[in-house]
Amino acid sequence: MRNNLGLIGMLLISYGCLFGNQKEQFPSGKDTVYSPDRKFVIQNFDPDSTERQHRIFLKDVSSGKQWELMQYNRHVEVAWSPNSTSIAVTDFDGSNHSGAYVFFVDKRKDPVNIEKELLRSTRLKDHLVKNDHVYIKVQKWLSSTKMEIAIEAYGDNDPHGYSTTIKYELKR
C-alpha cells in the first residue's frame, strides 16, 4: 500500500509539471522552458554589456524559427498552458508593481495584458488604480483557458492592504 501511495504522489507531481502548473523564473540558472508537448521552447537571453534589458523568445523546435515575446528589466515567471498554446508571464517590473500577460504560440493573436482586462471590472478598479503598490501574479493554469491570478495592493485606497485570488478566463 505504501508503495502505491508513493507512485500516486509521483504521478500527481508529474501531472502538474506536464500540464502547465510549473512556473519558471528568469533570470535563473535555467535559460529554457519547453512546452508540455515539447514543440516550442521559451528562451531567456540576459543582457550583455551593451544591452540593458533581458529578453524572452519563443522558438518553434521543428522549424528553428524564433520571435521575441517581450523585454523585461528585473525578473519574470513563465508558465505554459496545459495544451501548449499559451504562455503566462508575470513581469516583476518594479518594487511597487508586477503585471501579468498571456502570449500565444499563434503569432496572429495579440498578447493579453491581464491588468488592463481587470481594469474593466468595477469590483477591482479602485484597488488597481488608487493604490501605488499593485501586484498581479499568475499563480497557475487551471485549464487551457483559465488561470488563477493573485492580486495584492496597498496605498491610499487600501492602507492596510488588499489581497484576493481570482479565476481569470481568456476570451476566445
* Per-residue confidence (pLDDT) for residue 49, from 0 to 100: 62
**pLDDT band (50, 70, 90) for residue 21:** low
The parent domain of residue 89 ranges over 2-169
pLDDT at 30 over 90: no
* Per-residue confidence (pLDDT) for residue 56, from 0 to 100: 93
**pLDDT band (50, 70, 90) for residue 113:** very high
pLDDT at 145 over 80: yes
Percent of the chain with pLDDT over 70: 85
Residue owning grid cell 469590483: 123
Q: Which helix (H) or strand (E) holds 98?
A: strand 97-104
Please, what is the average pLDDT of the chain? 84
pLDDT tens by residue, 47-60: 776 667 889 999 99
Q: pTM for this structure?
A: 0.82
Long-range contacts of 149-155 (CB under 8 A, 24+ apart): 149/100, 149/114, 149/118, 151/118, 151/124, 151/127, 153/127, 153/128, 155/130, 155/131
Strands 54-60 and 97-104: unpaired
Number of domains in the chain: 1
Task: Indicate the range of 23-27, 66-70, 80-84, 85-89 predicted with least confidence.
Answer: 23-27
